[in-house]
Structure 1
């Protein structure tokens, strides 16, 4: 700590500049923490917290490895009851403040893992940071190992841990099975570093919440998976769940498009006709693009595009096939863009040559 830090504190106090005073005090606390005087650093941060001067901000803990994420939910989040109950359980476990603070969300891409992590942070009123793997993973032998030590050191120095969630999104990058990885030795070092740091985090800081996500749990290192207090499986959607999610997305997005005729009944029938439905992430994009790419002069064109995405090629599907799939004359008219009389005539076989 320099004399200038003391002078700055006095200056900011006289000027009643609370933000600058707070930041200077945090700088001083970090200095004492860096030289090993942890008690004094904690005491200073405690005084700041008690005086309501400290409010976690993105700039307080950002670095080359930790980046802030906006946790305001812009898209609707709809999870099957079983998954939603487990996410509520995660929130309850954190609120119990018993050191159960490390969670692994596993599931297919688009199953809602990252959005659920944002949801957890928002409901807990915590600042959410994600670990930037682009900076953490280094092509130089051994550098990734060192960077893992650095990022956990930064996590352990976060000044307001009880107001923080750290997200290791798609941790597969550094946590795949050591046995099956081509570079066994280097991956072993990286995984060992993560194991060591997670154990150390448990000993030093039980207030920071760690959430990791993985798309490749079957290849996940088993020793590492055991370091998490709970593993939440996001692969528990049935078709009814996905239809409910799709309807939520559709109702949220369709209101932003002028000239679109909202037809929930036909929308749901398209979904039920599909042999399989993609998971929410992909489903959301299909609905958005179908609406966005639709012909502004055809209020039902989005339904044709949805059919093509989810069921089959509408242009190559004749009216008789659509009828067999359960679509009414009026619905076929909307999908095909043909008049009711034309559809009826074709269904009655009046257009067929003798």
Structure 2
């Protein structure tokens, strides 16, 4: 530590520059951490937290690699009860301030990981900052490494760390298994930097909540996995969960379309007969587009479009096959766009080809 650090502290105190004072104190804590005096570094950081030396509300925080996400207006998120209980566990752990503050959300695309992070930030009443990987990753050798160190410095500079959640969305961009990477040495350096910075963050700033998401957990670096306090698996939807979520989306969207029949029974039957229902992200889009692109002159066209997306082309399935699948004459009429008498006649003819 230099004399200038002490002079800066006095200067900032006299000027009532709380942000400058706080940043200088953090720099001093980092110095003691770098020479191995972890206890003093932690003590300084705890004093900063207790003294509430943060930027005033409404002040602008400028960052090169962090962007703030708006969590004030977000859609309700429907998750299976097993995942919801894990989310409640995160809220409980953070609120009790017992040192559990780093979480990894893993699961297939569309399973709700990123939206769940927004909900966690909202429930904790914290600002949500997302790491901008587009600016972070650099083609120049070694620059990505430097950028990672910079982004962690920015995280440590954030005002009110007990009011912040940091999201590393799809962190696998920079944290895939070093052994399986095409550029082993470069990826190794990047991952090692992340490991080091996460450890330092744990020592210096225990109040910031870190949440990372990954679609490629099997390829995730095992050493990095161990840095997270808890791993939440989002691949735990049952078919019943997905049908319930689909019905919620349908009820929310259909009211915006006039001239469309709200046939929830047939809608659910199509989902039930589907061999595989996609996760909420894709499912939501299928329902939206089925409604939005439906024929304005046909109140049931969205049901045909849903059938095509979830089961297969309705044109390639004859009336007898639909009947064997469990669809009634009235339901087949809606799906095929034919009259009841026409459906009954064709069904009778297909059942009795010699007549």
Same-fold status (TM-score > 0.5): yes
Cross-structure match for 1:32? 24
Deviations 1:126-146 (A, max 9, x none): 100100000001000000110
- State whether residues 307 and 313 of structure 1, in contact with CA within 8 Å, keep that contact through their aligned partners in structure 2: yes
Matched residue SS, 2:166? strand
Cross-structure match for 2:177? 177
Unmatched tracts of structure 2, length 5 or more = 1-7, 31-43
Deviation, 1:37, is: 8.3
Cross-structure match for 2:321? 321
User: 1:56, 1:226 → 2: CA distance?
Assistant: 37
Deviation, 1:73, is: 5.2
Cross-structure match for 2:136? 136
Cross-structure match for 1:107? 107
User: 1:335, 1:161 → 2: CA distance?
Assistant: 56
Alignment of 1:72-221 (within 5 A): 72=72, 74-221=74-221
Judged with a 3 Å threshold, the aligned counterparts in structure 2 of structure 1 residues 93 and 37 are, in CA distance, closer, same or farther, namely closer
Deviation, 1:296, is: 1.4
User: 1:177, 1:163 → 2: CA distance?
Assistant: 32
Matched residue SS, 2:104? strand
Judged with a 3 Å threshold, the aligned counterparts in structure 2 of structure 1 residues 131 and 56 are, in CA distance, closer, same or farther, namely farther
Matched residue SS, 2:349? coil
User: 1:37, 1:200 → 2: CA distance?
Assistant: 11
User: 1:153, 1:174 → 2: CA distance?
Assistant: 18
Deviations 1:49-95 (A, max 9, x none): 6xxx83367x42x4121001121453331111111111111111111
Cross-structure match for 1:305? 305
Deviation, 1:353, is: 8.2
For the aligned residues, what is the CA RMSD? 2.7
* Number of matched pairs: 332
Matched residue SS, 2:259? coil
Alignment of 1:194-273 (within 5 A): 194-273=194-273
Matched residue SS, 1:130? strand
Matched residue SS, 1:257? coil
Which of 167-176 and 340-349 deviates more? 340-349
TM-score, length basis structure 1: 0.87
User: 1:280, 1:131 → 2: CA distance?
Assistant: 24
Matched residue SS, 2:181? coil
- State whether residues 29 and 44 of structure 1, in contact with CA within 8 Å, keep that contact through their aligned partners in structure 2: no
User: 1:193, 1:34 → 2: CA distance?
Assistant: 20
